[in-house]
Amino acid sequence: MTLSTLIIMFACIAVVLTVVIGFLFKSHKSWPMTFLQNFCGAWFIFSGWVKAIDPLGTAYKMEDYFAEFYSTLEPTWFGFLAPLFPWLAEHAIWISVPMIIFEIILGFMLILGHSPKVTSWAFWILLAFFTVLTGFTYLTGYVPSGSNFFEFGSWGEYDKNNMKVTDCGCFGDFLKLEPKVSFFKDLFLMIPAFYFVFRHKSMHQLFTPKIRNLALGLGSVALLFYCFKNYVWDLPHTDFRPFNIGKDVKAQKIAEEDAMADVKILTWIVQNKASKEVIELADADYMKNYMNYPKAEWEILDQIKTKPSIESSKISEMEFVDINDGYDIVPELLEEDNYSFTFISSALEAEVVSEKVTFKDSIYLVDTVMIFDPEKKKEIKDIVRSLDNVVNKTETRYKYNWDKDFFHNYSTKVASLAKDAAKDGIKSRMIVGAAEPETIRTLAAEAGLEGVQLCTADDLLLKTIIRSNPGVVLWRNGKIIKKWHIKKLPDYQDIKSNYMR
């Protein structure tokens, strides 16, 4: 689905609602106002709902924004604000859920005509916030790498590769919009936003104030429960991400790699390091005369390429590295005919405590002596050690205070599943993001995960695969058979009887 399709859909919904309100309820005061109320209301309800399906996804996107704000503000006069953003990132989920609920409720407030003046200003303020957010992200496309946003003199031509946040997150993972598109979308919506503020007295109102208040109150409670269900107690009921249940990851990975291999370079853009002259050359011309552009004198700025027939996803970046041998186990995983489990944690939840440990360390003197070997009937060299001294030695050792619930999930649910699966020859792997190998080994040992292959991966990849920490994925022949939130994980026998046939 495209943005244009969504706009047409919202317009059709608005027309139907406008006709019903005008002719059935006879509540309209202005046909254009009623249409815009319904259009913007439907827009906000839908965009909020697709985010409510996956509140964690919205939280992750907000973390991206906060990281961008931190790196931008930290070296400037506004650096005193920078420490706020890491704190906001840590609490992103508690910001995303209220924001999602507010967006949906605001959509219903528009359609119901609840408190027109308050609703108009709330719509304008929220939209202004979204516009600043997407506008800032879009404008970073003009900021070359190594320059700060506020160094306006260093701005150059727009390049989307300069942006750290490449998707606005306005429609969650349902529809990816570039910040540029999203920014102009928000500017478009600012037109009805101003219209509401100045003409709010023309808004239609449905039902009585008491009924509207009751509906919005019950709706807020229901939405709060719905958001929590989609990440606290279970996985999102609809998965818009590439690793959804039933996905043939092996086939998709091959298709994406083949599509990238077919991409052709159309134009080379090079710059003379001394004169700063920029030249664009067709691929054939550059390859024929590349000797005329030595790297010592010329820098390759960019390559204009054909678009791949299939857009790359996180599947193309899929890599699970064994922490002992250092090899990528993904090819092995995707080729396995038998079932297998992966236990996925985007991060290990623990407080790392360092402590100084002092112990006695013996120092020996080593010497070489000649002794007579009766069997060989000759003298041979031998090494003799003698105690020289005993000293106190201090080392820094680390202790992991695991989060209670996190460790319980691994030591009971995950460990039990791995042990029962191993009895049937089913292989299990633990994939962890953003952790040192020794930390992963420590968790596995303390949780009783004997025989489980330990791997590390990019934490963003793992967050894309499953919205649970830890989460469990069942694989076979490169396909995702089933995924479970840790709180919904059944025992092995239930999995075996229902999914492993």
Q: Cα dist. 135→112, 160, 170 in Å?
A: 30, 13, 13
What average pLDDT does range 307-330 have in this prediction? 92
Q: Is the pLDDT of residue 359 over 70?
A: no
Q: Which two tokens stand for residue 329?
A: 């186990």
- Average pLDDT over the chain, rounded to whole? 90
Q: Is the pLDDT of residue 239 over 80?
A: yes
Contact 170, 62 (CB under 8 A): no
State how far the Cα of 13 lies from the Cα of 42, in Å rounded to an integer.
7
The 3 state secondary structure assigned to 50-98 is HHHCCHHHHHHHHHHHHHHHHHHHCCCHHHHHCCHHHHHHHCHHHHHHH
Which helix (H) or strand (E) segment holds residue 314: the answer is none
State how far the Cα of 72 lies from the Cα of 59, in Å rounded to an integer.
20
Residues 6+ apart with CB under 8 A from 114: 108, 205, 209, 212, 213, 216
Residues 6+ apart with CB under 8 A from 461: 314, 317, 318, 319, 433
Which helix (H) or strand (E) segment holds residue 128: the answer is helix 116-139
Confidence class for position 397, pLDDT limits 50, 70, 90: low
State how far the Cα of 73 lies from the Cα of 83, in Å rounded to an integer.
10
Cα 306 to chain centroid distance, Å, stands at 27
Interval 81-106: pLDDT, tens? 899 999 999 999 999 999 999 999 99
Predicted TM-score (pTM) of the model is 0.84
Task: Express as a percent the part of the chain with pLDDT over 90.
Answer: 63
Task: Express as a percent the part of the chain with pLDDT over 70.
Answer: 97
State how far the Cα of 465 lies from the Cα of 344, in Å rounded to an integer.
9
What average pLDDT does range 311-315 have in this prediction? 90
| Residue among 181, 69, 182 nearest 127 (CA) | 182
Q: Which two tokens stand for residue 144?
A: 């070359």
Q: Which two tokens stand for residue 334?
A: 């995707």
Output the CA torsion sign for 457, 463, 466, 470.
positive
Output the CA torsion sign for 170, 176, 178, 181.
negative
State how far the Cα of 236 lies from the Cα of 221, in Å rounded to an integer.
18
Q: Which residues pair with 365 in a beta bridge?
A: 386
